[in-house]
Amino acid sequence: MSSAEAQSVLRVLVVDDSVIYRKIISDILNSIENVELVGTASNGRDALVLSRTKKPDLMTLDVEMPVMDGLETLHQLRALPEPPKVIMISGKTTRGARITIEALQSGAIDFVTKPEGRDSLDSRAQIEAPLRQLIARLRGGPSRGDSVAAAGVSRPGSGTLSPGPEIICAGISTGGPKALEVLLTGMRGPLPLPFVIVQHMPALFTKALAESLSRKSGLRVLEAEQGQLLEAGTVYIAPGGMQMRLRSGDRAGQVLVELRDDPPENHCKPSADYLFRSVARLYGGRVLALIMTGMGNDGTTGLRLLKRQNATVFAQDEKSSVIWGMPGEAVKAATVDRIYPLQELAAAIEAHLSSTLRSGGPLR
């Protein structure tokens, strides 16, 4: 093996208290080219020992384990000189969802849920696709966008930014829980507009995310409900496993949440494109849209519709994104007006709203 080939191998440690899941995940990893399984552990304490000796690039980490659980293990990993990236393996329970959200906000890059398969073969089939996809993206797959614009700089030909937005909308995926925490805690005052978000997650996890963000940011953050009236100052997160769009209410100016069990779009349910279409239909160009860290291209088509009506679009930059798939694809499609590092995005939003809502004109 050449040195270049050796460097391309992804070294992975599997940590799970279940013998069955250690085998399932290990078998999946052993079937992926240029992935090397360097060891397994049944609890976090053993995982820390192996991390020091085996020096894995990536760890799959079970949430609930004896001796030392996944969350404590994740915190302890920070003390290592070169900690591995971590994918959480979570059960589909309310407790598991809460702990997983905390893990994602503490540095885990993403998570995969343990399936409820009929047998080990069925369970492997359900977990293999998302795990393979995550590993492919982490190894620098083709979904990363090209770096074609500097942070905070307008793209040539992007047009005039929209006057007086009446809503903020966002699409976000891998790395989103931590990014949303940074964004919302960075807001210095109450939001003058409603803020609707699609974060790619399954059911249970979006409710736990909304509760965590509400507690940490001091903003009113909710998992959206059917028929809910949009109100200024409130953040609405689309429920996992449902498609969310907006519709007009019975009274003039009312906008309501509509949840539907429609098929996935871009393999996503909820989908940013699905939400953005309804935002474009109801608000036209009176929108500030955000496209943030995440794999794939969900959101790009919806942003095209918004830009045709002169909406304003901000993107998270590549350096601060866990994966620059969604914002990168939007930039390549020329749907983005300005690109900002995550730490500057809240201030950029507030400056834009302050300028446009005060003057009724475009951002200067």
Distance between terminal CA atoms of the chain? 55
Sign of CA dihedral 291, 210, 271, 162: negative
Within 8 A by CB and 6+ apart from 243, the residues are 259, 260, 261, 262, 265, 269, 270, 271, 274, 275
Any catalytic annotation for residue 298? Answer: yes
Length of the chain: 364
Any catalytic annotation for residue 200? Answer: yes
Respond yes or no on whether the N-terminal peptide bond of residue 270 is cis (omega within 30° of 0).
yes
| Alpha-carbon separation of residue 199 from 25, 184, 189 (angstroms) | 25, 14, 23
- Residue 244's CB is within 10 A of a number of other CB atoms, namely 25
Distance of alpha carbon 98 from alpha carbon 205, whole angstroms: 7
Q: Which of the following is catalytic: 42, 90, 143, 173?
A: 173
Any catalytic annotation for residue 110? Answer: no
Of 121, 110, 271, 109, nearest to 197 by C-alpha is 271
Distance of alpha carbon 23 from alpha carbon 317, whole angstroms: 38
- Note whether 309 and 127 are within 8 A (CB): no
Structure tokens given for 355: 């300028």
Distance of alpha carbon 166 from alpha carbon 137, whole angstroms: 35
Q: If 0-12 CB within 10 Å is exposed, 13-18 middle and 19+ buried, where does residue 32 land?
A: middle
- Note whether 363 and 352 are within 8 A (CB): yes
Q: Which of the following is catalytic: 200, 278, 321, 352?
A: 200
Q: Which of the following is catalytic: 46, 110, 298, 317?
A: 298
Mind telling me the catalytic residues?
173, 200, 298
